[in-house]
Structure 1
Amino acid sequence: MTAMGFVEEELAQMWAELLPARTEVPLDADWHALGGRTPALDLLADRIDDGLGVRVAPGELAVATTLAGMAKLVRDAMAARTAATRGAAPPAPAPAPAAARAERPVLSFAQQRLWFMQQIDPDTTLYNVPTVLRMRGALDRDRLGRALGALVARHEVLRTTYEAPSGIPHQVVAEPARTGAEFDLPYTDLTGPSDLSGPSDLSGPSGLSGPSGLSDGADSTAGPTAGPTAGPTPGPTAGPAADPRAEAARLAAEEGRWVFDLAAAPAFRARLLRVAECEHHLVVTFHHIAIDGWSVEIFFRELGLLYGDGASVPQVPALHYADYAAWQREWLQGSTLDALTDHWRAVLGENPQALAVPTDHPRPRRRSFRGAVVTRTLGAELTARIRRFGRAERVTLNMTLLAGFQALLAGWSGSDDITVGTPVSGRTRPELQDLVGCLINMVPVRVRLDGDPDFRALLARTRTALIEASAHQDLPFDKLVEVLVSRRSRDFLPVFRVMFSFLKEQAEPVFPGLDHCSLDLTGPQDTAKYDLSLYAQESGAGVALTLEYDTDLFGPDTPAELLAAYEQALHDAITLPDGPVLDLVAVRFRGSGSDGSERTTHLDR
């Protein structure tokens, strides 16, 4: 998921074109701090009017001053426009802490879905979010433990469990630990004999021994010992591992397969591994019910600040996830809910059909969620050309890459009606920017290729579809399905089976006193939530492509060939943007066997 929404991406590109330095524009960028002049805000207002279809006064932009603040003005204007044309409800009220929290705080819509899926398959690890922070330098373990303790105290969702005594789940938020308390961080030294004096293994899946989060003093090298099945448990390390980094990777993978008991302990756990004299790996595994990609960035950014002197850490947030969940439930009803569902009904129709692409194997009756990935990199030269073409067409890199993928899917499937799912942050208000929790939502992006469009026309259609999807992203996907799809099957994905996600290059966490830190979010590569999921992440001057595929449907050759065809399709589309896009050779992808023969494929409708 991109760290910016579609509106923010559009604004960032407009800023870059108008600012004297033409620099990268982060979400917290300040117009004046980057050299933006007040008269240029007139031009920015005109571009917003032209590109996003709403009018925001230059004076309001001057007061907002930051990219996030201006994005809020644009979103409010878009909501007001929708309300005026469709009789919709006004923009959402600002979320705020509840004056008196309910005795049993409700789950958000996203949490409810994730909780329900975990009940259906209690042993699933499909919704785990594994991360590894690699740290080089003289690490102070005590400081790290205190930083983790302070972070858990800051964010309620990190110390929340989910109980359902009457079948209806609710949040149970533990009290924070006392100031200065250490997080119970298990430690394994893979370079030498066990260190039995350090903090022990977890008393539960979260690393919290009850509400306080304090250590209980067990064996420091023990692996997971609580909760449901979690794979093999390593014993004490009597000596150095033959290959500490390989052993660290094995242990990280094992942690990533932890099965969370959401009623027994909070939905995250951590473990520290020493792999060299001045090199450690902090393995943190979350359940998606407590986190999303945006929140992972907040987690490690704040952990680095707390590891330092803590002076620059923002004050403890007044708004917590339980407050957000209550606000979401209260707001998304009545005329607001009706307006959102009316929009998506107009876009998708009743009982929208998911795109069917040819598969190598027949679709099984039940999904196993087994998957694999193939990777490829768009080189610096091609990426630079795609960026230049996009700027000329007034679209973002995200939009150009998605349009190329839609063209390829159309040529491959033989359909001119392409719906792809894409994640959105769900953080449409400033109050939600620094909230840790699961706010992410999936939105369908439907684009038709009827009329034999050229690539410029397809790009314009994609741009409009993405902006409209962003403006109406507040309807939880499950609600959309509930309203529009009359019959659902657990074995088949409604509305879309292909996903596209664009990700900005992530900034590495900074820990004062350490030489270098890098965050690995790769995780296990043996699962698949959709038939195909294409991740495109900015990487230096290029774009790293990862295609996750369902191994029940595809062998390894088809996804690899599909990525190669995608790269060629992008090249051809920006080289020949005025001819029918479906006439491009690369777009007419068919796939072939390893001997060059055409593959036998299966198509379900």
Structure 2
Amino acid sequence: RIETGEIESQLLQVAGVREAVVLVRSDANGQKALCAYYTPDAETELAVNDLRSALAQELPGYMIPSYFVELEHLPLTPNGKVDRKALPAPEGEAGSGTEYVAPRNKLEAKLAAIWQDVLGHAKQIGVYDNFFDIGGHSLRATTLAGKVFKEFNVNLPLRDVFRHSTIASMAEVMARMERQEHEVIPQAEERECYPLSSAQKRLFIQHTLDGADQLYNMPELVQMEGHFDVERFEAAMRKLIIRHESLRTGFEIVKGEAVQRIYSQVDFAVEHHQADSEDAAQIEQIIRSFVRPFELGKPPLLRTGVIELGPDLHILLFDMHHIVSDGVSMAIVMHEFSSFYAGEELPPLRIQYKDYAVWQQSKAHLERIGRQEAYWLQTLEGELPTADLPTDYERSAVRSYQGAHLDFDVEAALSARLRELAAQRESTLFMVLLAAYTVLLSKYSGHDDLIVGTPVAARTNTDLEPIIGMFVNTLALRNRPSGNKTFLSYLDEVKETALGAFENQDYPFEELVERLNVKREPGRFPLFDAVFDMQNIEERDAELEGIRLKNYELDQLEEAKFDLTLFIYENNGSLSGGFFYATKLFKETMIRTLTENYLRILTQIAENPQLELSRIECHKPSEGAKRVVDTIEFAF
């Protein structure tokens, strides 16, 4: 969490500031922002830019208020405390830590509009604002590059987004680039069945091998406070199903080939349940019975339900199969269902998911993928490493997906130092936390050549942005955390590895495994067993015609697809995370020690980034996990 008290304390250190209060509040555009209220000394004139500059010397960029409001006196309650509810709403546009300079030509103006779209900003963006200081990260950088390509026919490499992270610098480098034709995904000819995309093939095979399980279900739970019209909701969902062919798609085998078939109509109904709002066990039982296997040949592979807890209290249930959905798709579902519920109409979609699946087999696309293949074969040439993490239990030849998770929070002060470290090396928090994770894995495995998997949205073509479907690809990130490197030099390597992988993220993981002729071992995932997944999220805390929406949390709906996955969540400046692990391999005591050591590594690199990796310390596993160390020597 952002500690507003720390900001207030620093603001009061600025010469001429008599009183200060900092709040997180919504601006005129509904965006949450930091707002600083202050009163100056009687004989002092304070410029907002001077206040920002003073705070920037002591605080990370994300803790600099967007608004500064000067007041003659702070309003007080009858008890003499600051009356925070009486503080006026901020007016005008939010400011960044950089003095605003407007776009000076058409290219900069168009770039500013694209940045606003990608970052979700309603405020003006100046040509000297840094993309990564105002909300940018690796995923948004990829989206930005795609939109630049579509608008200007300029292929802006991802590493150039990092090197030229202001509009002024980006426009300058783009002006020297050659124009290339933007690849438009065409509409496929109508046919009875369509091929599967590469991502769908992997899931179809997995589903066939494992049977009708819930491994690739994607449940989403939303609590709603306010009057909710279930009939309107059902009508809105029917419109959504008509709009997206992927929600009317079934999967089957035809002449020995897996295909997808699109149905003009499908049976759909909202499941209705009632429960006592105080009976957590009853609610949990309903949810667990709702999340059940799908039959891939019987669309829709979407299920919705409503639990009525009271006249104005409901839990909305969504579940989709991953073969027709991904994380971005779930956001599209929520946005478009809300629009239809409100009676709005949406513009028609130019293409559907099937068009993407057919386009994947086109000559032009295969030529581009061929160029990416060369990158991956070079990156993964030679003998491929295995993490070989020590386990509490013997690995079975039959893979089990039974899992659990252990959550943790990163303290605000530590989060701030890690962000500063990322900024110093012109990298991202993703890269810093990934580097720390691979150091942890190296300590436990004793290896200094590691491959870690990470999922990417893989919607590099902007035509795919509004489509519900499965686009996610998995990248195999190979890094070498040898002990004689300093963390800073190693972070630079991790940055280059990540940028190269993101720039070549369209090459399907399934084809890479086949091309490398990876020997598949029973009970193991090919290429890697450990995964790093960082998600930049915003809490759902919105209004839908008087209905307040927020996430409803329920533990243990997830299953362990990999031996070990580190999830990191960045939410409005705060950092949290968790280790998801296979319970057939690890005890909780092992994972608890692993968590402590990861946080310990983060603390050490934040305090001394020049520390050699061999000198980074970890605690020995607790006595409960003693059996683990019997199998391998720890590289402490």
Same fold judged by TM-score > 0.5?
yes
Distance in 2 separating the partners of 1:374 and 1:295: 27
Cα 1:105–1:31 shift into 2, 3 Å: closer
The corresponding residue for 1:4 is none
CA contact (8 A) 1:146 1:183 kept: no
Tell me which of 184, 187, 192 is aligned to 1:97: 187
Tell me which of 139, 152, 156 is aligned to 2:241: 152
Unaligned runs of 5+ in 1: 1-11, 53-60, 82-89, 192-240
CA contact (8 A) 2:116 2:125 kept: no
CA contact (8 A) 2:212 2:295 kept: no
Q: Deviations over 1:501-545 (max 9, x none)?
A: 001123417452233112347663462111100100013442121
Tell me which of 206, 209, 219 is aligned to 1:117: 206
1:123-202 correspondence runs (5 A): 123-175=212-264, 184-191=269-276
What is the letter of the counterpart of residue 253 of structure 1?
Answer: R
Distance in 1 separating the partners of 2:245 and 2:555: 25
Q: Deviations over 1:54-105 (max 9, x none)?
A: xxxxxxx9xxx97862376798233999xxxxxxxx988221322x233311
Tell me which of 567, 572, 575 is aligned to 2:607: 575
Q: Structure 1 residue 488: deviation in Å? A: 2.1
Q: Structure 1 residue 264: deviation in Å? A: 2.2
CA contact (8 A) 2:452 2:478 kept: yes
Distance in 2 separating the partners of 1:410 and 1:466: 18
Q: Structure 1 residue 166: deviation in Å? A: 2.5
Q: Structure 1 residue 446: deviation in Å? A: 1.0
CA contact (8 A) 2:431 2:491 kept: yes
Identical-pair percentage: 25
Distance in 2 separating the partners of 1:140 and 1:334: 48
Q: Structure 1 residue 598: deviation in Å? A: 7.0
Cα 1:351–1:95 shift into 2, 3 Å: farther
The corresponding residue for 2:427 is 395
Determine whether 1:348 maps to 2:380.
Answer: yes
Q: Please say which of residues 536-545 and 468-477 is displaced more in the overlay.
A: 536-545
Distance in 2 separating the partners of 1:80 and 1:575: 27
Tell me which of 383, 396, 413 is aligned to 1:381: 413
The corresponding residue for 2:46 is none
Which is richer in strand?
2
Q: Structure 1 residue 450: deviation in Å? A: 3.3
Cα 1:135–1:334 shift into 2, 3 Å: closer
The corresponding residue for 2:289 is 254
Determine whether 1:591 maps to 2:631.
Answer: no
The corresponding residue for 2:338 is 304
The corresponding residue for 1:5 is none
CA contact (8 A) 1:591 1:598 kept: no
Q: Structure 1 residue 437: deviation in Å? A: 0.5
Distance in 2 separating the partners of 1:261 and 1:140: 29
Q: Secondary structure at the match of 1:35?
A: coil
Distance in 2 separating the partners of 1:79 and 1:454: 25
Distance in 2 separating the partners of 1:273 and 1:259: 20
The corresponding residue for 2:43 is none
Q: Structure 1 residue 119: deviation in Å? A: 1.2
Cα 1:489–1:301 shift into 2, 3 Å: same
Distance in 1 separating the partners of 2:554 and 2:605: 30
What is the letter of the counterpart of residue 156 of structure 2?
Answer: A
Q: Structure 1 residue 603: deviation in Å? A: 5.7
Q: Secondary structure at the match of 1:467?
A: helix
CA contact (8 A) 2:518 2:526 kept: no
TM-score of the superposition, structure 2-length normalised?
0.72
Distance in 1 separating the partners of 2:224 and 2:338: 11
Distance in 2 separating the partners of 1:451 and 1:553: 27
Cα 1:513–1:601 shift into 2, 3 Å: farther
1:60-79 correspondence runs (5 A): 69-70=147-148, 76-78=155-157
Q: Secondary structure at the match of 1:76?
A: coil
Cα 1:344–1:146 shift into 2, 3 Å: same
The corresponding residue for 1:418 is 450
CA contact (8 A) 1:160 1:174 kept: yes
CA contact (8 A) 2:153 2:182 kept: no
TM-score of the superposition, structure 1-length normalised?
0.76
What is the letter of the counterpart of residue 547 of structure 1?
Answer: F
- Structure with higher Rg: it is 2
Cα 1:66–1:393 shift into 2, 3 Å: closer
Q: Secondary structure at the match of 2:371?
A: helix
What is the letter of the counterpart of residue 341 of structure 1?
Answer: E
1:170-319 correspondence runs (5 A): 170-175=259-264, 184-191=269-276, 243-256=278-291, 258-311=292-345, 313=346, 315-319=347-351
Tell me which of 519, 522, 533 is aligned to 1:501: 533
Kindly indicate whether structure 1 or structure 2 has the higher relative contact order, using CA contacts under 8 Å at least 6 residues apart: 1
What is the letter of the counterpart of residue 300 of structure 2?
Answer: P
CA contact (8 A) 1:29 1:67 kept: no
What is the letter of the counterpart of residue 157 of structure 2?
Answer: M
Cα 1:602–1:438 shift into 2, 3 Å: farther
Q: Secondary structure at the match of 1:285?
A: strand
Q: Structure 1 residue 168: deviation in Å? A: 1.3
Q: Structure 1 residue 560: deviation in Å? A: 1.2
The corresponding residue for 2:477 is 445
Cα 1:331–1:603 shift into 2, 3 Å: farther
The corresponding residue for 1:359 is 391
What is the letter of the counterpart of residue 340 of structure 1?
Answer: Q
Q: Please say which of residues 283-292 and 524-533 is displaced more in the overlay.
A: 524-533
CA contact (8 A) 2:145 2:157 kept: no
The corresponding residue for 1:336 is 368
CA contact (8 A) 2:322 2:470 kept: yes
CA contact (8 A) 2:453 2:530 kept: yes
Tell me which of 352, 355, 372 is aligned to 1:320: 352
What is the letter of the counterpart of residue 250 of structure 1?
Answer: Q
What is the letter of the counterpart of residue 270 of structure 2?
Answer: L
The corresponding residue for 1:547 is 579
Aligned residues: 504
CA contact (8 A) 2:482 2:613 kept: no
CA contact (8 A) 2:247 2:301 kept: yes
Cα 1:247–1:563 shift into 2, 3 Å: same
CA contact (8 A) 2:486 2:613 kept: yes
Aligned-residue Cα RMSD (Å) equals: 3.5
CA contact (8 A) 2:455 2:472 kept: yes
Q: Structure 1 residue 448: deviation in Å? A: 1.1
CA contact (8 A) 2:268 2:300 kept: no
Distance in 1 separating the partners of 2:385 and 2:503: 23
